[in-house]
Amino acid sequence: MSGKVAAGGVGIVGVIIALLMNFLTGTNDPSSANIDLGSILRGEVTETSSTNRTFTKEEEELAKFSRQILAGTEDVWTAEFKKLGKTYTPPRMVLYTGSVQTGCGNGSASMGPFYCSADQCLYIDLSFFSSMKKQLGADGDFAYAYVIAHEVGHHVEYLLGSLEEAHEKMSRLNEKEANKISVRLELLADFYAGVWGYHDNQMFGSIEDGDLEEAIRCAEVIGDNYLQEKARGKSVPETFTHGTSAQRMKWLKLGLTTGDISLGRTFQVSESEL
């Protein structure tokens, strides 16, 4: 695969169902881009900027690459759902800069990429990826693909019912217990990202030398312990919402090496097996 990219990805459970990244500081800019979500069709990609500036060349490249990845996930998940006797309906994707209005409230670059099940839409902040690249040092097109595939993984969770079920449970638990459920959801999305990578490679021979290491390195640097230690010099496991570096690498790798959706048992295994 070609394209410029960066690592990033993914955060806390927001209003009902949004999954957001919260490890960067930054204010949530209430100004919002005007996108008429009703006019975006399934599988369709929209670009928008709240600052009314045009995308930079780098952002345009990221946008193009994002479209390719989304199309690839659609092919893979359509086939995988068929095997399960189900129909896959692709999510929509909004590529934005600045801030954006979503079915789960306002989104901004400080949140990172996220999925909102209320409108079944992936929100990808393009400038965020550039800054992630600088901050985390994780780079490479496959790492970027992994981040998008992770968000699509949340959409797969939504379609298969695990997302709603988990959020329903989380709403009845205290924060510490709810975080544990969040970790399982996030690791499942990592696993699904891996399953996508496996099948995308089978279909298109898309994985090149170094890609697996790149994605796994990306999984490592977006682990909660890594990010917290980097930001604060220490980590507090109780506050983990996405899993440790080791856990994220483990589940991504399992998906990438097997492509077997039935092995995504993050809700069945014990905590020590995560």
User: Which chain residues interact with Zn ion by CB under 5 A?
Assistant: 10, 19, 186, 189
**In angstroms, what is the minimal distance from the CB of 6 to Zn ion?**
16
Choice between 10 and 170, CB closer to Zn ion = 10
| Shortest-Cβ-distance residue relative to Zn ion | 10
* Strand residue runs (E) in 33-180: 45-49, 92-97, 99-102, 105-108, 114-116, 121-125
CA-to-CA distance for 231 and 83, rounded, in angstroms? 43
Q: Give the phi and the psi of residue 51 in degrees, each rounded to 5.
A: -100, 5
Choice between 19 and 76, CB closer to Zn ion = 19
Helices 175-204, 245-258: axis angle to 10 degrees equals 30
**In angstroms, what is the minimal distance from the CB of 20 to Zn ion?**
8
- Short-list 9, 33, 29, CA closest to 21: 9
Choice between 49 and 66, CB closer to Zn ion = 66
**In angstroms, what is the minimal distance from the CB of 34 to Zn ion?**
26
Task: List Cα–Cα distances, 113 to 82, 128, 171, in angstroms.
Answer: 28, 8, 23
**In angstroms, what is the minimal distance from the CB of 241 to Zn ion?**
9
Tokens for 62?
């990221």
Choice between 148 and 212, CB closer to Zn ion = 148
Choice between 59 and 186, CB closer to Zn ion = 186
**In angstroms, what is the minimal distance from the CB of 164 to Zn ion?**
15
